[in-house]
Amino acid sequence: MKFGVVVFPGSNCDDDAHYAIGEVIGQPVEFIWHQSEQLSGLDGVILPGGFSYGDYLRTGAIAKFSPVMRTLDKFARSGGLVLGICNGFQILVEAGLLPGALMRNKRLRFLCRQVHLRVENAETPFTCAARPGEVLRMPIAHGEGSYFCEPAMLAELERNRQIVFRYVHSDGHDARHDDFAANPNGSLAAIAGVSNRDGNVVGLMPHPERAVEAALGSVDGRVVLRSMVEYLSKGQAGCAATESVSA
């Protein structure tokens, strides 16, 4: 299998994602320049974090016009796995590949801190190696990560189990919308990550690629990347949570 990490002008977590997949998880991975229209041969594509196009106009707004996004749209429609992290999530939302919007953090400041996420849907290709309800610790680092959508959309997301991750307290308890400690950006329904209808495209604001080495604070991000690997090699049925998810 092979992964691709898209590089837009201004992406700055591309090296981190490449290192996590290539060196830590140990899978073949290459960089995809934003002007490339070649995604063939890839099984999974990561849109990494950063400030693509300097967040000019609106974060993620300009990236959607890059040539690679046309090809990515086809790639996603044919079932390829797409993971958008932070700015990558913002780009997927702007490109219409994921529902909702990402707004300025409630307290209007950039925030870099560890948060806890609960796996709400352990049956996606990005969470199949996790236990349902498992709590993962990984960092956020953004100024515009507050998830929002209209009530009708929210009901649909819940109905279709498209909410993949929610911000929670460290003990797994729900975080309210105004609970700064657990849901620092004030996301609606504490939503940290969502999928598309088919479940092959997921975006999340926290950074799993920053939580794959114990020396840097947490290895809980590994399960997201490992899920993709397991799914691609064994299929949905073959991908299951193991005891040592933190290995």
Partner 1 sequence: MATVNADIKVTPQLAAEHGLTPDEYARIQKILGRDPNFTELGIFSVSWSEHCSYKSSRIHLRRLPTHGKHVVQGPGENAGVVDIGDGLVAVFKIESHNHPSFVEPFQGAATGVGGILRDIFTMGARPIAVLDSLRFGAITGNGTSAQNRRILDGVVRGIAHYGNCFGVPTVGGEVVFEPCYANNPLVNALALGVARRTDLFFARAQGPGNPVIYAGAKTGRDGIHGASLLASAEFSEESEQKRPNVQVGDPFVEKLLLEACLEAMKTGAVVAIQDMGAAGLTSSSCEMASRGGVGIEMDLGRIPQRETNMTAYEMMLSESQERMLLVAQRGREREVFDVFTKWGLDAVEVGVVTDDGMLRLLHHGKIAAEIPARTLAEEGPRYERPIAAPPSAKSPEKLAEFSAPGVNLHDNFLRLLASPSIASKRWITEQYDSMVRTNTRVGPGAGDAAVLRLKESHRALAIKTDGNGRWSALAPREGAMHAVAEAARNVACTGGRPVAATNCLNFGNPEKPEVMWQFTEAIDGISEACKALETPITGGNVSFYNETLGKPIYPTPILGVLGIIENADCAIGSAFCNEGDGIVLLDAGRAAESREAQAREFSSSEYAKITQGVIAGAPPAIDLDAEKRLIDCLVDLTSEKVILSAHDVSDGGLAVTLAESCFAGDGLSAEATLAQENSAEPPEYTLFGERGARAIVSVAPASLARVNSIAAQYSVKAERIGVVTRGDFRITYSGDHAIHGPLGSFQQAWSDSLASELESAF
Q: Could you give the string, one character per residue 110-149, with x where binding to partner 1 holds by CB under 8 A and - elsewhere?
A: xxxx-------------------------x-x-x------
**Binding partner 1 by CB under 8 A: which of 42, 43, 46, 51?**
51
Question: Contacting partner 1 (CB under 8 A), which of 32, 43, 53, 205?
Answer: 53
Site mask, partner 1, residues 215-234, x = CB under 8 A? Answer: xx------------------
178 binds partner 1 (CB under 8 A): no
Q: What HEC string does the chain produce? A: CCEEEEECCCECCHHHHHHHHHHHHCCCEEEEECCCCCCCCCCEEEECCECHHHHCCCCCCCHHHCHHHHHHHHHHHCCCEEEEECHHHHHHHHCCCCCCEEECCCCCCCEEEEEEEEECCCCCCCCCCCCCCCEEEEEEEECCCEEECCHHHHHHHHHCCCEEEEEECCCCCECCCCCCCCCCCCCHHHEEEEECCCCCEEEECCCHHHCCEHHHCECCCHHHHHHHHHHHHHHHHHCCCCCCCCC
The stretch among 43-51, 148-156, 161-169, 227-235 that binds partner 1 (CB under 8 A) is 43-51
* Residue choice 3, 4, 6, 13 for contact with partner 1 (CB under 8 A): 13
Q: Interface with partner 1 by CB under 8 A: which range of 53-61, 88-96, 124-132, 192-200?
A: 53-61
Residues 60-79 interacting with partner 1 (rule: CB under 8 A): none
Q: Which of 94, 120, 144, 209 is catalytic?
A: 209
Contacting residue, 109, 161, 173, 176, with partner 1 by CB under 8 A: 109
The answer to whether residue 167 forms part of the interface with partner 1 (CB under 8 A) is: no
Active site residue 169: no
